[in-house]
A and B are shown apart, each in its own frame.
Chain A
Amino acid sequence: MIDPKGLTAVAGIGYRQYKRGTAPLPERGVLVQVIVDACDDAGFDPALIDGFVSYGDDKNEPVRLMPDLGMKQLNWSAQVWGGGGGGVAGAFGLASAAILTGQAKAVIVFRALTEGNSGRLSAAVMAHHLNDHMVAAGTVAPAQICAMRAQRLFEHHGVPQSVCEELVRASYHHGKRNPDAVAYGRDFDLEAARTARWIAEPFRLFDCSRENDGAGAMLVVSSELARDLRKIPVKLLSVAQGAQKGWGDLLENDDDDLYPTAGFGAIRERLYAQAGLTPADIDVVQLYENFSAQGVASLIDHGFCTYENVADVVRFENLIANGGKLPVNTSGGNFAHGFVHGIGCAVEAVRVLRGESANPVPGAQTCLLAGGPGSPTISSAIFGLN
């Protein structure tokens, strides 16, 4: 068996984001742009791409990209199952698996989403899961399902709801300083957030991620090939996807102890063991947060804190790039940078390790990418420079 640690790397990134409903081109056009951007970033000819991986029910079948990219050969196309963002990190595992087994040489991991083509993301995600049981109870949106789990996390498991505010504030702190972020240049109005309209209790508006038009693409190649390309290779140190018994699309019948979690207990040990790292070795986290409580639950799942000490760790000062011990979402994340189904979190994982983040983490060697929390099939990855 191959020890995959560090054998593949991200060599190029491309990301374009627009206000929802305002992409200048239809979805596939924006996608082609970011793929070419990623290749330009790496100094790599798009015609030499031979594989694609996506997640979250992306609708852009790779073969249709071949004419625009000038590709001669498609050797690999795959997608992680699931309607939510649970597969974003696992997508890198599929790309890496193809490369390490000689089935492809240059694989693009992508996600593209424009409202004009794919409609509202929240509706698409829920359509993947919707059934008459849920509709009969009026639970038709991800926010409501996550809200019920959050309520249990706070009321039954004793996690203080105030930690959610700390995570949101840190995200907007980073977003304010990122010229590409929707929150760029804006002061976060804490009082306005505290009194913003309810979506589904305990979530108010600012507990919820945004939706943006846009696309992201990342070129994955062998670390050997990446060394010859333009940018510093950001290596894939480990990646894991999956679920455990008692979790996942069970009509809210997940096991008692799993119900309030984000589902990452299933992969935590595999993820760290493959990288030979522990949570203490992680320098920065890109945390997919669909909703504030699920972001916090993900940090708990990944071993950064517990129900008991979460308030000591998930503090604004501890989460920001400038001085925090656990910098989280240095671009602003899904809350304050923007949300193209979480591909922006993966892009930022590479940027921050290259030293290209708007909120740099000096000396960062490792970055954990936590995929969509609460998804039936979840995934995470650890990227590193060595």
Chain B
Amino acid sequence: MWKTLVWLQGVRTTPDTIVRKKVTNKFVAPSVLLALLIHTAIVVAVGVSIIFQQDILVGDKDETTTPVSARAVDESDVLAELERMQYEETLERQRQKEQQQQLELALEKQREAERRTQEENERLAQMEAQRLEQEQALREVEEQKRLAQAEIEAAEQQRLEEQRLIEAAEALRLQQEEELRQVEEQKRLAQAEIEAAEQQRLEQQRLTEEAEALRLEQEEVLRQVEEQKRLAQAEIEAAEQQRLEEQRLIKEAEELRLQQEEALREIEDQKRTAQAQIEEAEALRLQQEEELRQVEEQKRLTEAEIEAAQQRLIEEAEAEQLRKQAQIAQLEEQERQTEEENKRLKQEAEAKRLAALEQQRLEEEQKRLEAELRQKELEEKARQARIEEEKRQVALAEKLKQEELARQEQERALARQLQRRAQSEFARFIPQIKQKVEDSWIAQSNSEGRFAILEVEINPTGEVQSVEVYSSSGSLAFDRSVSIAVRKASPLPIPRDPEIFDYFKRFRFEFSGSAR
């Protein structure tokens, strides 16, 4: 009975669907209820009947007792009555007992029925529980099946979706392939064009470079000419300087010469004495020479006359035949005179020879004297020259010192000026140098973090003269790659101004490898 209720309770606590199913499908519950109602009715009926009987008995007793106590007359009657009453009571008791027994039997039967019902109920409950369990299990299985089905469907959905995507992707890929081929073709054409353009650009670059090289060459030539001109100018100036110096020296020499002349005058006096003698001899010699000259002149004139006469004679030979004969005498006379003259001339020549010998002797004497004099003069000159040289040296030293100071000052001024010029040129040329070196450096992909410093010297045309690793990157390959870059960038673009070349002749390149 509890179990049933508990079960019913339990059923009520379970979800409505299950209760509904329970009530509609099964007939057990109404029958139990019916049995319960019948049973209750029986019990009530029996109970009521007993109560009523008791009530009757009590009523009887009350009614009979009262007359007994009230009258108490007829003892036998009373006793008979009592006996009868006892008998009736016994009967009644027996009847009651029988009824009780019947009731008990009925109750027993009822209990038995109840017990069986209960057992039945229990069995049913057990069966129901089992069924519920089975149903629960079934539901779970179904739930699982449903979830699995959903999963399968989802997977199928996904597979189809994937399939669709793959197909779409394939279609797209084919289309893209086509497009790619076209693009590739276009790219190839563009590439060809680019290559042609590149070729042209390279050609132009080569021409530009050649032109540049030519220009550089011309500039170099021009610069050299300029340099030569400058040097020539300097030479001229130096020559002028020297000339002035020489003039000065000449002046000084002139003074010296005057002094020397004074000194010489004494010598001159001596010389003059000798000279007087020489002059005397000379006068004589001159006289003799004059005579000789006159004679020779005469002779020359005579010879000319003869020639002329002969000429005339030849011319007039025939015409003057007669006159000639007359003249022969005259001529003979003349001839004689001539011979005489010749003889005299011979004598004079002899005299002249002697005079010449004398003259020669005198001349030699004079030469000797002159040589002596010259010697003396030379010695004096040498002495003077030494003194002069010493003086000149001192003066020169002083002059040089002054010049050096002036020059230094000038140089400093020049240097300041050059420095300003150089600085303005840096702004223009350093980006160009940097660009040229960068363009010749093939940077390797693994050079990130590497750092090297090169010291580079160039000549006035910008050509790289030396490259030294000032600070190594630690990688020989990296150091080599940057050295090659600088050498390949030669000549470096530098100003065409030889005066500020000093500012451009040494470079330090700091190479840092970067990521690619």
Q: Do A and B come from one complex?
A: no
B contacts, CB < 8 Å to A: none
